[in-house]
């Protein structure tokens, strides 16, 4: 049997177990199946990471917070797959991801979407997986949800060009935009772990349930988790709604706006330059 066939069987059994227990569960179990014939070769040990230096020059580009609502309105860190660290730079992680064929998504993807942004960002945004637009372009969050994400970030003086990095739990598009399967997360999450250790973001913004479950280990719903600060390996992590969800239910934007303000306060605590920028935003009554 191939590892994919074994994985499908295991996930079928997980689903059956969830069903027998009376509900639809989100499983984050880790399997390490191997093809009966082809064994995946071992990988070398990890390398060290660079330092923090925030580029906080975004304020000039901050538009009116168009995103802000109108007045009306287990973890994969458990199975820490940081092992395949053949790379010392973000570009090397990206190159490795582009060459990856560790799960079945490599057969259906058009392009791998490793992530993009600045080194040593103030914020690392982690989404779930690429969608159709991202699959076509090779860039994260460039579709409608991505445009909303950019607005959310710019409302508090953040952007992928100046002071953020944007990545996903899984680097290839799952067919029909379904949730990534646990085995796909297992095969891929070491890229994100390595990105985090190289990027050393000041803060992580976790967009949606899938990202939050995989980074915090909590399988609670995102409605319960959003807005409550957690930690990922000593990095403050804020769960928030996924922008795709906000596009489907605009009434939730008010909560997401609260999260953006909380993120802004946290960054102001942690970074002097950002503190000055956010003070200016407050003075201009943009936040």
When the beta carbons of 129 and 202 are compared against ligand URA, the nearer one is: 129
User: In whole angstroms, how close is the CB of 160 to ligand URA at the nearest point?
Assistant: 11
211 within 8 A of 169, measured Cβ to Cβ = yes
- Given a contact cutoff of 8 angstroms between Cβ atoms, the answer to whether 124 and 204 are in contact is yes
Q: Which residue is nearest to ligand URA (CB)?
A: 127
Q: Which is nearer to ligand URA, 116 or 186 (CB)?
A: 116
Could you give the strand order of the β-sheet that contains 235-240, starting from the edge strand earlier in sequence?
A: 116-117, 164-168, 123-127, 203-207, 235-240, 230-232
Distance CA 35, CA 75 (A): 25
Lookup result for tokens 């991505």: 146
Tell the smallest beta-carbon distance from residue 106 to ligand URA (Å): 17
Q: Report the residue number, 131 or 239, with the smaller CB distance to ligand URA.
A: 131
Least distance in angstroms from the C-beta of 141 to ligand URA: 4
**Residue 241 vs 257, nearer CB to ligand URA:** 241
Site residues (vs ligand URA, CB under 6 A): 127-131, 134, 140-141, 145-146, 168, 244
Q: What residue has token string 């999450």?
A: 189
Closer residue to ligand URA in complex, CB, 140/281: 140
Q: Is 172 helix (H, G, I), strand (E, B) or coil?
A: coil
Q: Which residue has the tokens 């920028």?
A: 277
Collapsing DSSP to helix, strand or coil, 163 comes out as coil
Q: How far is the CB of 14 from ligand URA (least distance, A)?
A: 22
Distance in Å, CB of 199 to ligand URA, minimum:
16
CA atoms within 13 A on the CB side of 53: 4
């Amino acid at each position: 049997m191939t590892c994919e066939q074994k994985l499908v069987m295991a996930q079928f059994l997980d689903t059956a177990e969830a069903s027998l227990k009376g509900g639809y569960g989100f499983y984050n179990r880790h399997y390490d199946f191997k093809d009966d014939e082809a064994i995946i070769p071992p990988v070398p040990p990890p390398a060290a990471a660079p330092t923090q230096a925030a580029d906080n020059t975004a304020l000039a580009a901050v538009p009116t917070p168009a995103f802000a609502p109108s007045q009306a309105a287990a973890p994969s860190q458990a199975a820490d797959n940081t092992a395949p660290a053949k790379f010392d730079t973000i570009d090397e992680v990206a190159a490795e991801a582009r060459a990856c064929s560790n799960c079945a998504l490599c057969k259906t993807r058009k392009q791998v979407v490793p992530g993009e942004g600045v080194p040593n960002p103030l914020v690392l945004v982690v989404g779930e997986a690429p969608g159709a637009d991202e699959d076509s372009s090779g860039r994260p969050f460039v579709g409608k949800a991505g445009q909303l994400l950019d607005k959310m970030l710019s409302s508090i003086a953040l952007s992928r060009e100046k002071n953020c990095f944007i990545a996903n739990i899984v680097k290839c598009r799952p067919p029909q935009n379904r949730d990534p399967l646990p085995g796909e997360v297992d095969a891929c999450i070491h890229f994100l772990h390595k990105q985090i250790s190289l990027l050393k973001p000041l803060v992580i913004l976790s967009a949606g349930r899938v990202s939050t479950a995989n980074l915090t280990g909590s399988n609670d719903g995102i409605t319960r988790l959003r807005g409550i600060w957690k930690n990922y390996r000593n990095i403050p992590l804020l769960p928030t709604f996924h922008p795709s969800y906000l596009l489907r239910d605009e009434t939730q934007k008010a909560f997401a706006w609260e999260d953006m303000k909380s993120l802004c306060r946290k960054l102001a605590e942690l970074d002097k330059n950002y503190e000055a920028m956010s003070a200016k935003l407050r003075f201009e009554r943009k936040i």
